[in-house]
A and B are shown apart, each in its own frame.
Chain A
Amino acid sequence: MDKKLKLTDDILLSVEKPARYLGNEINVVGKDINDIDIRFALCFPDVYEIGMSHVGLSILYDFLNKREDTFCERVFSPWDDLEKIMREKNIELFSLESQDDIKAFDFLGFTVQYEMSYTNILNTIDLSGMAVYSKDRSEDDPIVCAGGPCTYNPEPIADFIDFFYIGEAETTLPEILDLYKIHKNNGGTKEEFLIKLLDIEGVYVPKFYDVTYKENGEIKEFKPNHKNAKAKIKKQIVMDLTNAPYPSKPLVPLIQTVHDRVVLELFRGCARGCRFCQAGMIYRPLREKDVNVLKKQATELIKNTGHDEISLISLSSSDYTGLEELTNYLIDEFGNDKHVNLSLPSLRIDKFSLDIMSKVQELRKSSITFAPEAGSQRLRDVINKGITEEDILSGSSQAFKGGWTRVKLYFMLGLPTENYEDIEAIAKLGQDIVEEYYKLPKEVRKRKPQIVVSTSFFVPKAFTPFQWTAQDTYETFMEKQTFLNKKINKKSIKYNCHDAKTSMLEGVMARGDRKISKVIYSAWKNGATFDAWSEFFRFENWENAFEENDIDPLFYSSRERDFEEILPWDFIDTGVTKEFLYREYLRAKEGIVSENCIDSCMNCGAKSFGGGICYVD
């Protein structure tokens, strides 16, 4: 029998990639609405191909649907061609699985991965036929919730979301759903449910908190307005990753997405302590998954999906204690005539990794990637990026000897304390790598090396040692980029750069407070959606939004904060203490490096979770 579809054939055939809207993927979950208690619409607020490539979404979809009482369905942002038709014909946004309107659901949950998707969140709520501001929504509307890395500073979107879950959803959501089921069966208002939520660790209900501001715009006070509301919201995380739920039959889209591959999660968290990196701080402590479980999952996942690539993901794969055992196993099991490729992003380039890569890419040598982030050793010490020039040069040299000719280098412009010598050092480092290549004997140099330098602009993030620092202004960013562009020897190095407007906006969102909600609303009203897409991004939408609300973006992006200032996200407890972050900030300014979690404990506070790397000898 043909699947019931919300959109008629004439609409589907008039839009790009109609398969985005069908919900007919391999391993899709179907449930009878009459057999379940809770309908959960899980939304990745971007286009289908992006959302479907996100492993977090896959994990959430799987573990929510493992519950017999819950049917979790997916929703993505419709592409602009469909959105136009939906608005013309008054078609409300629907889920992919049952193709029912989002309005019929109990929950609409967003996974928020990047700041530039905020307007898509508003657009999703609006396309569902609901009021964008929480306070304007009715009892009949689904409860709107959100989680993910951006929600560690939930304030910029606090006015649109009924509640946030801070941390990893596997721990908090089941408890929330249990509570909701009882609430739904007993009958009660949304308000009553939100009050009950205040008892659950890790849940933040913005309406039960008031913020007052000083005349200079800083926060004067942030405090609960309900007796049950906790003063601190403690992040919730999975401590036993080995036995945590993981999809064995993930969805396989019928159309090509960004990443069509089997994903193995080696560990969560990171031991490295790079001072600019939010993920490295908020996901602490590092928790590994057992290598034997990963082996088992690899076999199962290839069988259930038919993918031809396995990707090992984590923040710094080289730190996985079972890496050698795992990669050897995967090469034996899937290499050769099985035609399954192994991809190892975020791998430190050294002899070991080059050996592995030679084995997995025996015929086709792709490129080698380094992320030194800063050009000079001085600045790398400031950001605590534990990679030396020697590492990079010897890594490149070994790679060249091994037959690779393409090297990609990633840097950030605008890191704290950066000066023009540091920027010039980026050009020099690139050139030094080129020279490493020409040290090879002539007869082995088959072609010109391809060295690609890419820069992005530094965005200070909440819960990092740089959360107090001033971001460079747009003008400074562009001057620095122009300077570097002139310094790079284009004969041998390709330079990828881009405009700084998005980075500047990210800078505002990442450390914004509740006042920013109005700006996001105005920008969306002005027409902003898909801001992460250069073809849709219009800076005017945002410029006007700041003006309309009389808000100075530089107050948020380019202002140095005092240690005493109440930061908008201070009420969230990630386990990593503010004192540790500030200690790291001071050390950064003096260029003092800190040891990583493998070598020594810097007492960040994550030990309070009682597990992970903090308790490994």
Chain B
Amino acid sequence: MLIRIKFAKEGTMKFIGHLDLIRNFQRVFKKADFPIAYSEGFNPHPIMSIGAPLSVGITSEAEYLDVKIKEDIDINYQIKNLDLHAPEGIKILDITVLPEKAKSAMALIDAAKYKITVNNITITEDMINNLMSKNNIIITKKNKKNVLKEIDIKPGIFNIALGEDGDLLLLIATGSRMNVKPEIVLDNLCKVNDIEYNKFDFKIHRQEIYYISDNKFLPLDKIL
């Protein structure tokens, strides 16, 4: 049986990369005596995957970990149990049982919502308009063969707006079909408006991960 664990990644945990996060979850499961299933073969490993790994430096209130379990679980108990054993900065929020033929998170994900808090500069509606009035927003990116390639990220920006505190709110393409990084959007926003900014002096927070169904953005644990 597959389940999807929703968790938050906060505080100093933002400095822990994807592979280390997975290793930490393995230890959480062991400590919590959680009935995770193992793969067969020469080197059995716990079956789990994260759909859209979060870059180092970004916090999140909605991460999803898919896990195969070998027996039924008491969901309310396991939320508390896993949370108890998780490192500080990882908060277990919810567990959803997936239907038998559910797509993996990785195959499902279309978009994610981010909040970027920038220090030292003020973002205005005009600045956003300057960016979005362009026909395309071209970035160069190395592809798998290590060749530089030009990509238009504008179709991947579903929504861009100013938040109440002057934060930049983004709903952008995420996942295997198209992937736009929030810091790249910020970078292009500043470039278009000729603004110098400190590459490390802003905070990015992921608020939700979505898949698109019938033209609607649905959170990853909202299973239809």
Contact assessment for A256 and B23 in the assembled complex, using a CB-CB cutoff below 8 Å: yes
Knowing A3-B12, A10-B200, A256-B20 touch, does A24 contact B26 (C-beta < 8 A)? no
| Interchain CB contact (< 8 A) of A19 among B15, B43, B46, B85 | B15
Residues from chain A with a CB closer than 8 A to the CB of B41 are 363
In the complex, per-residue mask of A1-27: 1 if CB is within 8 Å of any chain B CB, else 0: 011010001111110001100101010
Q: How far is the CA of A26 from the CA of B26 in the complex (A)?
A: 14
Encoded as 1 (CB less than 8 Å from any A CB) or 0, chain B from 19 to 55 comes to 1100110111111000000100111101000000000
Chain A 403-443 residues near chain B, CB threshold 8 A: none
A 241-265 to B, binary, CB cutoff 8 A, 1 in contact else 0: 0000000000010111000100000
* A306–B38 CB distance below 8 A: no
Task: Tell whether, in the assembled complex, residue A13 and residue B31 are in contact, meaning their CB atoms are under 8 Å apart.
Answer: no
Does B88 lie at the interface of the complex (its beta carbon under 8 Å from any beta carbon of A)? Answer: yes
User: Does B143 sit at the interface, judged by CB under 8 A?
Assistant: no
- Asked if A302 CB lies within 8 Å of chain B CBs, one says yes
Asked whether B27 lies within 8 Å of A307 as measured between CB atoms, the reply is yes
Chain A CB within 8 A of B89 CB = yes
A2-B11, A9-B57, A24-B12 as given contacts; A14 in contact with B200, CB under 8 Å: yes
**B56: CB under 8 A from chain A?**
yes
Q: Of all chain A residues, which has the CB nearest B45?
A: A339
Interchain CB contact (< 8 A) of B26 among A3, A11, A18, A308: A308
| Residue pair B15, A303 in contact (C-beta under 8 Å) | no
A5-B12, A12-B15, A254-B24 known; A304-B31 Cβ under 8 A:
yes
Cα–Cα, bound, A304→B85 (Å): 9
Q: How far is the CB of B41 from chain A (nearest CB, A)?
A: 8
Q: How far is the CB of A406 from chain B (nearest CB, A)?
A: 14
B16 in contact (CB, < 8 A): yes
Q: How many whole Å from B13's CB to the nearest CB in chain A?
A: 8
* Min C-beta distance of B27 to chain A, whole Å: 3
- Complex contact B42–A252 (CB within 8 A): no
A26 adjacent to B87 (CB under 8 Å) = yes
Q: How many residues of B are counted as interface, with CB atoms below 8 angstroms from the partner's CB atoms? A: 34
B70-107 vs A, CB cutoff 8 Å, 1 = contact: the mask equals 00000000000000010111000000000000000000
* CB of B28 to closest CB in A, whole Å: 6
Question: Hey, which chain B residues are within 8 Å of A306, CB to CB?
Answer: 26-31, 85
* Chain B residue at minimum C-beta to C-beta distance from A26: B87
Asked whether A364 is an interface residue with its Cβ less than 8 Å from the other chain, the reply is yes
Considering only residues 206-221 of chain A, those with a C-beta below 8 Å from chain B are: none
| Chain A nearest Cβ from B181, distance in angstroms | 14
Q: CA of A252 to CA of B88 in the docked complex: distance in angstroms?
A: 12
Query: Is A305 engaged at the interface, CB distance under 8 Å to the other chain?
Result: yes
Shortest CB distance B177–A (Å): 28
A24 touching B89 by the CB < 8 A rule? yes
**A10 to chain B: which residues have CB within 8 Å?**
198-201
Residues of chain A within 8 A of B31, CB atoms compared: 303-306
Residues in chain B near residue A18, CB distance under 8 A: 15, 56
Residues of A within 8 A of B12 (CB): 2-3, 5, 19, 22, 24
Residues from chain B with Cβ under 8 Å of A26 in the complex:
27, 87
Q: Complex formed: what's the CA distance from A3 to B56 in Å?
A: 17
Indicate whether A255 sits within 8 Å of B20 (C-beta atoms), given known contacts A14-B200, A24-B12. yes
Give the Cβ gap from A367 to chain B, nearest Cβ, in Å: 15
Quick one: given A22-B15, A364-B42, are A254 and B87 in contact (CB under 8 Å)?
A: yes
- Complexed CA–CA distance, A279 and B57 (Å): 43
Are the C-beta atoms of A339 and B27 separated by less than 8 Å? no
Q: Whole-angstrom distance between the alpha carbons of A307 and B13 in the complex?
A: 19
**Bound state CA distance, A252 and B86, in angstroms?**
12
Contact in complex: B44, A256 (CB < 8 Å):
no
**Residue pair B200, A254 in contact (C-beta under 8 Å):** no
List CB contacts (< 8 Å) of B191-207 with chain A: 198-201, 203
Cα distance A339–B89 in the bound complex, in angstroms: 27
By secondary structure, the A interface counts as loop
Complex Cα distance A75/B42, Å? 39
- Interface core residue of A24, A256, A303 (most chain B CB under 10 Å): A24
Closest CB-CB distance, B115 to chain A, in whole Å? 16
User: Nearest Cβ distance between residue A301 and chain B, in whole angstroms?
Assistant: 11
Contacts of A252 in B (CB 8 A): 27
> Which residues of chain A from 89 to 121 have a CB within 8 Å of any chain B CB?
none
Alpha-carbon separation in the docked complex, A303 to B38 (Å): 19
Considering the complex, give the chain A residue whose CB is closest to the CB of B29: A306
Chain A residues positioned under 8 Å from B27 (CB to CB): 26, 252, 305-308
Give the residue among B16, B29, B43 with the most A Cβ atoms within 10 A: B16
Q: Give the CA-CA distance A252 to B20 in the complex, in Å.
A: 12
CA distance A22 to B15 in the complex (A): 9
A12 to B58, CA, bound (A): 12
Q: Which residues of A contact B17 (CB under 8 A)?
A: 255
Contact B29 A9 (CB under 8 A): no
A24-B89, A306-B31, A308-B26 known; A19-B20 Cβ under 8 A: yes
Nearest A residue to B200, CB-CB: A10
A226-252 with Cβ < 8 A to chain B: 252
Most buried by B among A5, A11, A255, A304: A255
Which residues of B lie under 8 Å from residue A303 when comparing CB positions? 31
Closest chain A CB from B92 CB (angstroms):
15
CB contacts (< 8 Å) of B43 on chain A: these are 363-364
Residues in A whose Cβ lies below 8 Å from that of B199: 10
* Cα(A346)–Cα(B20), bound, Å: 29
Which residue among A14, A303, A307, A339 has the maximum number of chain B CB atoms within 10 Å of its CB? A339
A385–B26 Cα distance when bound, in Å, is: 41
Contact present for A302 and B16 (CB under 8 Å) = no
Chain B's closest residue to A302 (CB) is: B30
Q: How far, in whole Å, are A30 and B89 apart by their CA atoms in the complex? A: 16
B32 to chain A, nearest CB (A): 8
Judge whether A307 and B30 touch: CB under 8 Å.
Answer: yes
Q: Which residues of B contact A308 (CB under 8 A)?
A: 26-27, 30
User: In whole angstroms, how far apart are the Cα atoms of A12 and B56 in the complex?
Assistant: 10
Q: Could you say which residues of chain A place their CB within 8 Å of the CB of B57? A: 9, 13
Question: Known: A306-B27, A306-B31. Is A254-B16 also a contact (CB below 8 A)?
Answer: yes
CA distance A325 to B68 in the complex (A): 35
A302 proximity list for chain B (CB < 8 A): 30
A307 to B27, CA, bound (A): 6
Q: B118-138: which have CB < 8 Å to A?
A: none
Q: If the complex has contacts A10-B198, A255-B16, A256-B23, are A3 and B11 also in contact, measured as CB distance less than 8 A?
A: yes
A5 → chain B closest CB, angstroms: 7
State how many angstroms separate the Cβ of B131 from the closest Cβ of chain A.
24
Q: Which residues of B contact A3 (CB under 8 A)?
A: 11-12
Q: Which residues of B contact A9 (CB under 8 A)?
A: 57, 200-201, 203
B85 surroundings in chain A (CB, below 8 A): 306
On whether the beta carbons of A24 and B19 are closer than 8 Å, the reply is no
CA distance A26 to B32 in the complex (A): 14
What CA separation (Å) do A254 and B86 show in the bound complex?
11
A13–B24 Cα distance when bound, in Å, is 21
* A2 cross-chain contacts in B, Cβ below 8 A: 10-12
Residue of B nearest to A11 (CB): B200
Residue numbers in B under 8 Å from A305 (CB-CB): 27, 31
Can you report 10 residue pairs joining A to B where beta carbons are below 8 Å apart? Answer: A2-B10, A2-B11, A2-B12, A12-B15, A13-B57, A13-B200, A22-B12, A26-B27, A26-B87, A255-B20
Known: A2-B12, A304-B31, A306-B27. 17 other contacts (CB 8 A): A2-B10, A9-B57, A10-B201, A18-B15, A22-B15, A24-B13, A24-B88, A254-B20, A254-B87, A255-B17, A255-B20, A256-B20, A256-B23, A302-B30, A305-B31, A306-B29, A339-B30
The list of the 5 closest CB pairs from A to B, nearest first, reads: A306-B27, A10-B200, A306-B30, A306-B31, A18-B15
